[in-house]
Amino acid sequence: MRTLPVVKTGLGGAAILLAGFLAAAPAQASTGVSVPCNTAALITAITAANTSGGGTINLALGCTYALTQVNNTDPMAGPNGLPVITSQITINGSRTTIAGNGTFRILMVTGSGNLTVQGLTITGGNAIAGGGIANLEGTLTVNHTTVTGNTATEIGGGGIFSGTMGTGPAGTAILNFSQVNGNTSLSSAGGILNHAGTLILNASKVNNNTAAVGGGGIASGTGGMGGNNSSFLSVNLSQVNNNTANGGPASGAGGIANGGTATINASQVNGNIAPGGNGGGILNHGAMTINASTVNNNTTPTDNSGDLGGGGGIANLNITALTGAADSGVLTITLSQVNGNTATGHGGGILEDGVMANDMLGLPGGPLTLKLSQVTGNSAGFGGGIYASTGSPVTLTISLIAKNTPDNCEPLGSISGCKN
């Protein structure tokens, strides 16, 4: 038996995907209130927009609005540098920065709020959840914006927290042509935490983030509580690359941790790392579909405590016995690559396994289906291509499992269509 790193937490053409969001990020509006390069003026403008039921705020070209003190404190979510967004507000910038001093969050949206930001850099935030931005049951749209250099200290989401503190679903965040890069969480989700909400990425990047626990880039779900219908994640024409999860056997998912329902379309989940954990690129214990995407060159090396890593590319874990969540570990991969990944333990490309009530692995995994896909050039201690625990339902349809080290599939002969 092996110890479990569990994270608490159809294919359309490119033209179809593009049609949904190419018009979602218009150029900076010419109407609205123009705010000079003055932080006090920005605070005044947001307060006035909230009071009047909404509005558009145009910030100064190339300006840095430096926040040096707390504007307000939410009893649950902590201090914020700017007034809480409680109405429909758009904040436009052009090479414009809103910077904190590392002691409070930059922006927060509540249930009645609907915030659109575009043309901004949001940096220097620090909070228990969503160091840069927290969206608590509201609506957040991020266009042509960079969220970088922020920190979450307890709940997670170094760059962005979105959803609800409850079981949801509530709260929606949409990123168009944006970046959530170089953020840190002392808990889960270095880049973005989608907790019981809806998160949509369109032509965006979540790269080079770090989590002390799991989900180095993105964590979506409620830790197995609430089932697959509590959190929804859609990643379209985007990157989740070069992120790190440092939780070891208590976590996993260097790139994406999914405990809800997720779809990855025409995207990259490459070059992520989870030392001593499961899922260098992806840890799925919900329901996930991967279409026309790459999960390449991820790794789960041995950590500093000597814990072996599993599922170098993907760990697909069935946690029904542990949490009672139905339909856990359902993964379908179509027209995709899982190549060049490494694990020091089981499953260089894919680890397909189930979790016992005592947090040990060894039960059958959930349904794993590969169609018109390839799992090649991966390596592991056991099962270089795919390691599937006994009784796991694995279906290969016109898929290539080849050139993996030390073999393509383990246990030998357990996966129909896989030749060693």
What's residue 140's pLDDT?
98
Lowest mean pLDDT among 24-33, 139-148, 264-273, 332-341: 24-33
Higher per-residue pLDDT: 419 or 352: 352
What's residue 226's pLDDT?
59
Whether residue 366 is predicted with pLDDT greater than 80 in this model: the reply is yes
Backbone dihedral region for residue 320 (phi beyond 0: left; psi -120 to 50: alpha; all else: beta): alpha
Whether residue 334 is predicted with pLDDT greater than 50 in this model: the reply is yes
Two structure tokens written together for 406? 């030390």
Domains along the chain with CATH numbers: 61-410 (2.160.20)
What's residue 227's pLDDT?
67
Over the stretch 217-233, which tens digit does the pLDDT of each residue have? 999 998 755 567 789 99
Q: How far apart are CA 196 and CA 193, in angstroms?
A: 9
What's residue 385's pLDDT?
98
Over the stretch 100-112, which tens digit does the pLDDT of each residue have? 999 999 999 998 9
What's residue 323's pLDDT?
83
Is the whole model's pTM more than 0.75, yes or no?
A: yes
Amino acid at 138: G
Whether residue 330 is predicted with pLDDT greater than 60 in this model: the reply is yes
Whether residue 246 is predicted with pLDDT greater than 60 in this model: the reply is yes
What's residue 392's pLDDT?
96
What's residue 337's pLDDT?
98
pLDDT band (50, 70, 90) for residue 30: low
**272 vs 59, 215, 281, CA distance in Å?**
36, 10, 5
Residues forming beta bridges with residue 294, ordered by sequence position: 268, 337
Q: What percent of the chain shows pLDDT beyond 90?
A: 83
Two structure tokens written together for 94? 């052009």
Contact (CB, 8 A) for 373 and 336 = yes
Q: How far apart are CA 291 and CA 270, in angstroms?
A: 15
What's residue 3's pLDDT?
43
Amino acid at 269: V
Whether residue 2 is predicted with pLDDT greater than 50 in this model: the reply is no
What's residue 251's pLDDT?
85
Over the stretch 47-74, which tens digit does the pLDDT of each residue have? 999 999 999 999 999 999 999 999 999 9
pLDDT band (50, 70, 90) for residue 155: very high
Q: What percent of the chain shows pLDDT beyond 70?
A: 92
Whether residue 403 is predicted with pLDDT greater than 70 in this model: the reply is yes
Supply the mean pLDDT for the chain: 92
Over the stretch 259-292, which tens digit does the pLDDT of each residue have? 999 999 999 999 999 999 999 999 999 999 999 9
What's residue 7's pLDDT?
38
Over the stretch 4-14, which tens digit does the pLDDT of each residue have? 433 333 334 44
Whether residue 17 is predicted with pLDDT greater than 90 in this model: the reply is no
Average pLDDT over residues 360-381: 96
Average pLDDT over residues 312-340: 93
What's residue 166's pLDDT?
83
Average pLDDT over residues 384-400: 97
